[in-house]
Amino acid sequence: MKILINLIRNLLGYIIIAVDLITRGSKKKRAPEQQKEVNQELKSLSLYQFAACPFCTKTRRAMYKLNLPIEKRNAPEGSKHRAELLEGGGQVKVPCLRIEKDGKVEWMYESSEIINYLEKRFA
């Protein structure tokens, strides 16, 4: 039964990914110097995710539209990124944005909260 549930969940997740890719739209345009500055700032961010998670897809879609190539870290069972997520953030919940600032690390959960943060910081 667990295998069937995982199969259905993954199938639906990949359908959502396909629809996202088809309907994505265009990226935010920035001057090359400005994009270079943004890319430098993004080095302090990473997104922990599951590939077929609809909330992760929602977050990745917003990142794409804002032209934010943030490092994505897949966190399936047994992966080092999953262990990092649990150890650093305290729970295995995705999406999770890891924000490193002034030597401190913040772990931000919830897709809407992550998207609001990115829109305010990089819009």
- The HSE-up count of residue 53 (CA atoms within 13 Å, CB side) is 18
Examine the pLDDT at 5 and tell me if it is beyond 90. Answer: no
Examine the pLDDT at 71 and tell me if it is beyond 90. Answer: yes
The pLDDT value given to residue 13: 82
When mean pLDDT is compared across 5-14, 45-54, 103-112, the lowest value belongs to 5-14
Residue type, 8: I
pLDDT digits (tens, 9 = 90+) for 86-103: 999 999 999 999 999 999
How far apart are the C-alpha atoms of 75 and 47, rounded to whole Å? 10
Examine the pLDDT at 10 and tell me if it is beyond 90. Answer: no
- The HSE-up count of residue 97 (CA atoms within 13 Å, CB side) is 24
Pick the residue with more confidence: 82 or 2? 82
pLDDT digits (tens, 9 = 90+) for 14-59: 888 888 888 988 999 999 999 999 999 999 999 999 988 999 999 9
DSSP 27: P
The tokens for 29 are 């345009």
